[in-house]
C-alpha cells in the first residue's frame, strides 16, 4: 500500500509550527505544505541559518510555491529553554493562532563517548528531543486554534521498541526507573546508567511516545479531543550528507559511509527525505489522520525497497501509564528547578 498525497484545493489554509524544518524530512514537508498554500512558522537556531533556509525554499524550481502561503523563520534554539520561552512570548504578542504543531527536530550523535550538554546543563539528546519539546508544547498550546481541526504531531522512531529491527541493534531503549532524570540537571542518561550516545537517542524516542500518550490523556481531561500523533519515518539516509546522520558522521565517518552504502544501496531498507517528508505533510492535512487521542503510525519496511505506512503497536515500555506519568512529573520538576 503506497501512501499518496491526495492533493486537493484547500478550503482554509493551516498555520503550521514545525521544529526541525530547516533540513531533511522537515524541510521536504515544508516544501510540500507551502506548495499547497499552508502557512509555516519554521524556527531556526540563528539568523544566518534562517536566511539560508529561506533561500533554499525559494530556489526550489521543482516546487510550485503558492503566492498565498506565508513563511516565518523566527530565531529559537532548542538547546536553550529560555530561547523557547522568548519565542513563545513573541508569538503570543503577535496573537498568532496555530492549527498544527509539529515536533520534528531530532538530534543524534552516536559514536561520541562524551555527553554534550544543553545551555541548562542537560544531556543534549534528551534536552533537544524530549525536554525542549515538552516545554514548547506547554507554552504554545494556548495559541492553538481549537476550531480548525488542530493536530499535534511528534516524530519518534521504531528504535524506541527493543523488538524492532533497529531497536535490536546495540543498546536497547529503556528508561528504567528514571533514576538519572530524578537526580536533576547534570545527569548523563535518563536511567542513571553510563553514557551511551546510541541508547540516549533510543531513550529519547521512547520519551516522545510516552509524552504524546500523556499529553493526549491530559487534553481529554480538559475536554479537548484532538489528534496527538507520534510517527516513525523509517530509516532515512540522504545522499547529500546533510540529513539526520550529519551529527553522528563526524564521530565515525568511514563507518557511517559503509553503513549508508549497505543499508541504502545494497539492502534497500532506507527511504528518502522526500518520501518521508510527504508522509509528514500528509499527517498534517489529510482527513484520515483526524482521529482524536493518541495514535502511532510507522513507515514499516515489508520487503527490499517497499514500505507500508500504517497504525502500529508501540513497545511494552511505551504502554506503561505509570512511566508516562512519572516522566511527565519529573520533566516538569526539572524545568521548574532550572528556570526558577
Residue 4 lies inside a defined structural domain of this protein: no
Tell me the range of 139-148, 174-183, 250-259, 304-313 where mean pLDDT is highest.
174-183
Residue 320 lies inside a defined structural domain of this protein: yes
pLDDT, tens digit, 9 for 90 and up, residues 47-67? 999 999 999 998 875 555 656
What residue numbers bound the domain in which 150 lies?
15-339
pTM of the model: 0.90
Question: Which secondary-structure segment (H or E) carries 154?
Answer: strand 151-155
User: How deeply is 201 buried, as exposed, middle or buried, from its count of CB atoms within 10 A (0-12, 13-18, 19+)?
Assistant: buried
Compute the average pLDDT of residues 17-28: 96
Question: Which secondary-structure segment (H or E) carries 273?
Answer: helix 273-285
Residue 2 lies inside a defined structural domain of this protein: no
Of 133, 154, 17, 143, nearest to 84 by C-alpha is 133
Residue 5 lies inside a defined structural domain of this protein: no
Residue 254 pLDDT > 90, yes or no? Answer: no
Residue 147 lies inside a defined structural domain of this protein: yes
Question: Which secondary-structure segment (H or E) carries 295?
Answer: strand 293-303
Strand, coil or helix: 15: strand
Give residue 242's pLDDT: 55
Residue 1 lies inside a defined structural domain of this protein: no
What are residue 157's phi and psi, to 5 degrees? -165, 155
Give 19's strand partners.
Answer: 103
Contact indicator for 60, 89 with CB cutoff of 8 Å? no
Task: Give the confidence band of 6 by pLDDT, cuts at 50, 70, 90.
Answer: very low
Grid cell digits, residue 213: 500518550
Task: Give the confidence band of 101 by pLDDT, cuts at 50, 70, 90.
Answer: very high
Give residue 9's pLDDT: 43
Across the chain, mean pLDDT equals 88
Give residue 185's pLDDT: 87
Residue 3 lies inside a defined structural domain of this protein: no
Residue 72 pLDDT > 90, yes or no? Answer: yes
Task: Give the confidence band of 234 by pLDDT, cuts at 50, 70, 90.
Answer: confident
Compute the average pLDDT of residues 115-140: 97
Grid cell digits, residue 247: 551529527
Task: Give the confidence band of 271 by pLDDT, cuts at 50, 70, 90.
Answer: confident
If you count DSSP H runs as helices and E runs as strands, how many of each does the chain have, helices first? 11, 8
Give residue 232's pLDDT: 96
Share of the chain above pLDDT 90, in %: 73
Task: Give the CATH number of the domain where residue 217 resides.
Answer: 3.40.50.720
pLDDT, tens digit, 9 for 90 and up, residues 305-325? 677 999 999 999 999 999 999
Residue 6 lies inside a defined structural domain of this protein: no
Q: Can you give the C-alpha Rg of the chain in angstroms?
A: 19
Contact indicator for 34, 66 with CB cutoff of 8 Å? yes
Contacts of 141 (CB under 8 A, 6+ apart): none
Give residue 199's pLDDT: 97
Q: How many domains does the chain have?
A: 1
Amino acid at each position: 500500500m503506497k501512501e499518496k498525497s491526495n492533493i486537493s484545493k484547500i478550503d482554509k489554509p493551516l498555520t503550521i509550527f514545525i521544529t526541525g524544518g530547516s533540513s531533511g524530512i522537515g524541510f521536504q514537508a515544508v516544501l510540500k505544505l507551502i506548495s499547497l498554500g499552508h502557512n509555516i512558522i519554521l524556527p531556526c537556531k540563528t539568523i544566518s541559518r534562517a536566511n539560508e533556509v529561506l533561500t533554499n525554499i525559494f530556489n526550489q524550481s521543482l516546487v510550485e510555491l503558492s503566492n498565498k502561503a506565508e513563511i516565518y523563520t523566527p530565531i529559537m534554539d532548542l538547546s536553550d529553554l529560555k530561547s523557547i520561552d522568548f519565542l513563545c512570548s513573541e508569538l503570543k504578542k503577535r496573537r498568532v493562532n496555530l492549527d498544527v504543531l509539529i515536533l520534528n527536530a531530532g538530534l543524534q550523535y552516536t559514536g561520541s563517548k562524551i555527553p554534550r550538554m544543553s545551555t541548562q546543563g542537560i544531556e543534549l539528546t534528551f534536552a533537544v528531543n524530549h525536554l525542549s519539546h515538552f516545554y514548547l508544547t506547554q507554552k504554545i498550546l494556548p495559541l492553538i486554534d481549537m476550531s480548525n481541526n488542530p493536530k499535534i504531531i511528534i516524530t519518534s522512531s521504531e528504535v524506541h521498541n527493543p523488538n524492532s529491527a533497529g531497536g535490536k541493534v546495540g543498546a536497547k531503549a529503556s528508561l528504567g526507573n528514571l533514576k538519572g532524570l530524578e537526580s536533576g540537571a547534570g545527569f548523563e542518561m535518563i536511567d542513571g546508567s553510563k553514557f551511551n550516545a546510541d541508547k540516549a537517542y533510543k531513550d529519547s524516542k521512547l520519551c516522545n511516545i510516552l509524552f504524546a500518550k500523556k499529553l493526549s490523556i491530559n487534553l481529554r481531561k480538559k475536554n479537548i479531543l484532538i489528534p496527538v500523533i507520534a510517527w516513525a519515518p523509517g530509516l532515512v539516509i540522504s545522499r547529500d550528507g546533510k540529513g539526520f546522520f550529519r551529527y553522528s558522521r563526524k564521530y565515525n565517518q568511514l563507518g557511517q559511509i559503509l553503513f549508508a552504502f549497505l543499508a541504502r544501496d545494497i539492502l534497500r531498507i532506507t527511504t528518502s527525505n522526500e518520501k518521508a517528508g510527504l508522509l509528514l505533510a500528509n499527517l498534517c492535512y489529510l482527513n484520515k489522520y483526524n482521529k482524536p487521542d493518541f495514535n502511532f503510525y510507522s513507515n514499516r519496511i515489508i520487503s527490499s525497497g517497499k514500505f507500508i505506512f500504517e497504525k502500529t503497536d508501540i513497545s511494552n515500555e511505551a504502554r506503561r501509564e505509570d512511566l508516562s506519568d512519572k516522566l511527565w512529573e519529573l520533566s516538569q520538576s526539572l524545568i521548574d528547578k532550572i528556570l526558577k
